[in-house]
Amino acid sequence: MSYPSLATRTAVVTGAASGMGAATARLLAAGGARVALLARRTDRLDALAAELTAAGGQALAVTADITDQSSVDAAAKAVHDAYGLVDLVINNAGVMLPNPLTEGRLDEWTRMIDTNLTGALRVIRAFAPDLAAAAADGRTADLVNVSSIASHVLFPDYAVYGATKAALTQLSAALRTELGPRDVRVSTIEPGLTDTELSGHIDNAELRGQLDGMFTTIPALTAEDIADLIAYTVSRRRHVNLRQSIVLPTRQA
């Protein structure tokens, strides 16, 4: 599906090296948006930027680690130097590391909190002034936070992951009270079972097997499904805010 209104947009997509981030970047660029690709894996970003440019799009690869404030600051400067102010931010970077809470995996807890919540906050802090300025200039301005169905549905051994995503969903709701009066839309996308690299981070063999079993029995969403929902959400007329979208495979719903 095409979204002509994307042609005027300047976007930042985090977690753009793979999965939903890469798929969203492809769709935005195909619609004519200028897209800044943020992620840690430089080789993946460079390859994606080259792909989008070869297809006639505009893309900028910016290596960034959203768990590092100085890295986010440098990334924001690189985006501003190349594109000026942005009017569309897709906070997509995330990590899922389930394990029983009693195992006390502080390393995993820290990584999930720093990426899924604090990292998202760093990106918002870096680009919220851009969004407010764009809206004040009469342009459409969007912040999209990619959360998860785990913010609502409880899964054993996913307590910390679910908590970070619930916090991101709550953060989005709170931000609507701050940014909505300034004509900046804040939307939350909450996918269910989606075929991305996210499950590849799991080091617990039993939990990895359970998730593999779900993929066997449930036709999962694709990264492109989520990208299409994001593009639809940000393509509405500027006074329309699709504030929260829960998207699940039909057999999971």
Whether 158 is a known active-site residue: answer: no
Cα 137 → chain centroid: 25
Sequence-distant (≥ 6) Cβ neighbours of residue 46 within 8 angstroms: 61
Phi, psi of 233 (to 5 degrees): -60, -45
**Residue among 3, 83, 158, 161 flagged as catalytic:** 161
Rounded to whole angstroms, the Cα distance separating 16 from 63 reads 10
Other Cβ atoms closer than 10 A to 249: 19
Rounded Cα distance, 59 and 33, in Å: 9
Q: Which residues contact 215 (CB under 8 A, 6 or more apart)?
A: 193, 195, 199
Q: Are 253 and 52 spatial neighbours (Cβ–Cβ below 8 Å)?
A: no
- The side-by-side arrangement of strands in the sheet containing 88-91 is 58-63, 34-39, 10-14, 88-91, 142-146, 185-191, 244-247
d(CA 15, CA 162): 19
Q: Give the residues across from 246 on adjacent strands.
A: 190
CA 238 to chain centre: 20
**Active site (catalytic) residues:** 161
